[in-house]
A and B are shown apart, each in its own frame.
Chain A
């Protein structure tokens, strides 16, 4: 346990980081003590990564100040942060896989003439001092995730790092590798290093952290000694927002829609390590909410159903659409069978942003068209697009306005219109209100409700619990590539859903 009066080597005072006017981190007062393991917890989008990226020199602060060893600093690059002994270890390590361990550790310090044996011996000595059991001559591509992290840490220590930031370090590790990692953290701490540890796994944070901070919606909610916190208290702090927000209404008063026919069923569907034996059903006339933390495989599950990704060929499970077994090779086959997947990344996958609104909307219709040589009347295309633009209440200077000029909310409405023009019967919304203004959120929610009322099967993937609770008639929780819990709206609460998602 750390001494509460130990030196604060990092201090954030009223730290705020805004992106295009939206504060990802707001007025955060955060401290990191010498020789402590400090866990940062919070939902997706709570601001954990942003805060640590500021510390690692990836982003400058918008306002507020950051002090290292009591002196204000303003890093202009990660190199600046490194000079102050701050190293960030990402989930995906920054090692060069085709080089060996020793070469990676001494990357950037090569002499004009290098003696490999000398480099290897130096690396071996360095690794032994850290008590890391990694062969310096091994190719990095042959190492497991935990060993790669060790190499990255060895490199950071070699550069005299004394503050380590781990972003979701255990997400990709096997149980055995996790044990290696925890031992490693203990050793670093024993050598006087300070560690910031971002995780979704509460048990891990409670077991290895000295102090825990919980962020919510960019604000620091609580910082306390780990021994004073329990799993329940942390979950409460992570999700304990007031549900009085008019936008999300009172979920407790809602009555679930009755399920209709089973439209989609995934049975033991697997795809690599992202989806592992996922089993779920989606019914007509209902909104099925799919919650999970990042990496839970929920987007992948639905992308498999929509033909965007393909399940494993062997032992990949079974997908049925209205009782018929399907395995779509391309999304077009799914579109023609009435499946619409509305992407979470509209800029990358959802729109042609330099084309007009009407053109974008009508592209959806073309994707569904079955005759490749059919002639499409321009007037008909305009008429259909205009009807959808009006239905979706897309606000712009005209139907030919370029999508790139629209606000996030209106862009999202165009993406939705592009799918709804196909008259789908199964609609999958992936993070439908991400990066969307408050007014458009309400409109998008209304569209989703109307679709379910009209008898369509609707799936809403969301990381935002109030949205899931407010929209869903039944809630599925995904974790580690499979569905781990199903809840009716009567029994669901933010705490229960979060509990299922992290355990």
Chain B
């Protein structure tokens, strides 16, 4: 009976008249600037850039790196090694760092003086992002309470909305829940009014959370890609990394419950139809045939599973400018973008490359 109801709703609802995704136009008009960005360092699992008074930090696998940008070439300097992969890094104004460790929870402190913050097991395995407020308090995004961070695709396919935002008191080692029921919160930044902007990946939106109120308010909705980490912009507003594009095929798979369940039950997760961090030249990907590649040439407008996208938003959350690496590029899976020392850096997780964005801070932006 429920199935019949869903069928009738699908037939007559205005919402389900077809499968479509928002257009990449206007501010999101594609260009090639991310592909042409200066490539500084190659780190296979580079993730979560964070600017601190002590330098630019990033996680890559189990290792926390400081990126030495002073010389002729950029050098990653390993400063700490953890027992499991790093899922996020955050930095406070006083130089303190917070590092999320997959399955292990949260560590705060500095080089050589780490302190573990105890968190419940279902929360500790998927810490996706964190941000320090001006008063030193720490907010942490928990992407999912059901799956570890590395299993993000499964959370998407299961329609996960078990994510939450926690306020951590690192001195006392306590935490409190700020917001719950979020669909994979994956990035956070403090706004000028003391509110917290959080990216909800699976709902393709940015929400504002008042630390005094549990109800998130949508700031920016219906993004053309899955948003990831956020970081403050010196011109006001924030930077937004978007790690994978929305495609009609993914939306179809996410809508067709039986198909998706069978796919998850019978096929290896690496082969699932869904967003990816990096492109694949493998011929067994269904999209490799016809619509993506023709006569050996990859069409830039093809509906690829991966994409590179960075956007700068103003204080009200409106996107103002964007940088792209299209289907024929390789700087895909941008999971983090960060302003440091007058330049803007982006981490392409898909290609394992640290990028310096052109025209990101100098002069006026195209749409300002």
Contact = CB atoms under 8 A, between A and B. Distances in A.
A317 B18 CA distance: 5
Contact of A259 (B14, B22, B221, B367): B367
Contacts of A327: 14, 17
12 contacts: A267-B21, A267-B22, A268-B18, A268-B248, A281-B23, A311-B17, A314-B17, A314-B18, A315-B17, A316-B17, A318-B18, A486-B26
A238 B238 CA distance: 46
B18 A315 contact: yes
A211 B219 CA distance: 59
A283 interface: yes
B177 interface: no
Nearest to A316: B17
A488 interface: yes
Nearest to B21: A267
A259 B311 CA distance: 14
Given A259-B367, A260-B318, A486-B29, A267 B14 contact: no
B212 interface: no
Interface in B1-56: 14-15, 17-18, 20-23, 25-27, 29
A323 B221 contact: yes
Nearest to A268: B20
B318 A267 contact: no
Per DSSP, chain A at the interface is: strand
Contact of B222 (A260, A314, A323): A323
Contacts of A283: 26
B363 to A, nearest CB: 13
Contacts of A261: 318
A265 interface: yes
Interface in A304-355: 311, 313-318, 320, 323, 325-327
Given A265-B222, A314-B18, 19 more contacts: A258-B367, A259-B318, A259-B367, A260-B318, A261-B318, A262-B222, A267-B20, A268-B20, A268-B248, A279-B20, A280-B23, A318-B15, A318-B20, A323-B221, A326-B14, A327-B17, A474-B26, A483-B25, A490-B366
A279 B367 contact: no
A279 B17 contact: no
A256 interface: yes
B359 to A, nearest CB: 13
A481 to B, nearest CB: 15
Contacts of B248: 268
Per DSSP, chain B at the interface is: loop
Contacts of A265: 22-23, 222
Interface residues of B, number: 20
Interface of B: 14-15, 17-18, 20-23, 25-27, 29, 221-222, 248, 318, 320, 366-368
A281 to B, nearest CB: 5
A281 B20 contact: no
A262 B26 contact: yes
A261 B27 CA distance: 11
> What range describes how many residues of A lie at the interface?
20 to 34
B367 A281 contact: no
Nearest to B364: A255
Nearest to B27: A259
A317 B17 contact: yes
Contacts, number: 64
B160 to A, nearest CB: 22
A426 B188 CA distance: 33
Given A258-B368, A259-B367, A279 B14 contact: no
Interface of A: 256, 258-262, 265, 267-268, 279-281, 283, 311, 313-318, 320, 323, 325-327, 474, 476, 483, 486, 488, 490
Which residue, of B14, B320, B366, has the highest number of chain A Cβ atoms within 10 A? B14
A311 B15 CA distance: 13
A261 B26 CA distance: 11
Nearest to A312: B17
B23 to A, nearest CB: 4
A325 B15 CA distance: 6
Given A261-B318, A320-B222, A486 B18 contact: no
Contacts of B14: 325-327
A312 to B, nearest CB: 8
A357 B18 CA distance: 43
B25 A280 contact: yes
A256 B18 contact: no
7 shortest interchain CB distances as A-B pairs:
A267-B20, A327-B14, A268-B20, A279-B23, A318-B20, A325-B15, A315-B18
B367 A316 contact: no
Contact of A256 (B23, B29, B320, B367): B367
B205 to A, nearest CB: 9
Contacts of A325: 14-15
Contacts of A474: 26
Contact of A486 (B21, B22, B25, B320): B25
Contacts of A483: 25
Contacts of A281: 22-23, 25-26
B20 to A, nearest CB: 3
A211 to B, nearest CB: 37
A280 B22 CA distance: 9
Contacts of A320: 222
A488 B27 CA distance: 10
Nearest to A323: B221
A317 B222 CA distance: 16
A317 B318 contact: no
Contacts of B23: 265, 267, 279-281
A256 B366 CA distance: 9
A314 B10 CA distance: 11
A206 to B, nearest CB: 26
A256 B320 CA distance: 13
Contacts of B21: 267
B18 to A, nearest CB: 5
A134 B215 CA distance: 70
Contacts of B318: 259-261
A416 to B, nearest CB: 25
B319 to A, nearest CB: 8
A430 B71 CA distance: 58
B354 to A, nearest CB: 29
Which residue, of A280, A281, A316, A483, has the highest number of chain B Cβ atoms within 10 A? A281
Which residue, of B20, B22, B368, has the highest number of chain A Cβ atoms within 10 A? B20
Nearest to B319: A259
A280 B15 CA distance: 18
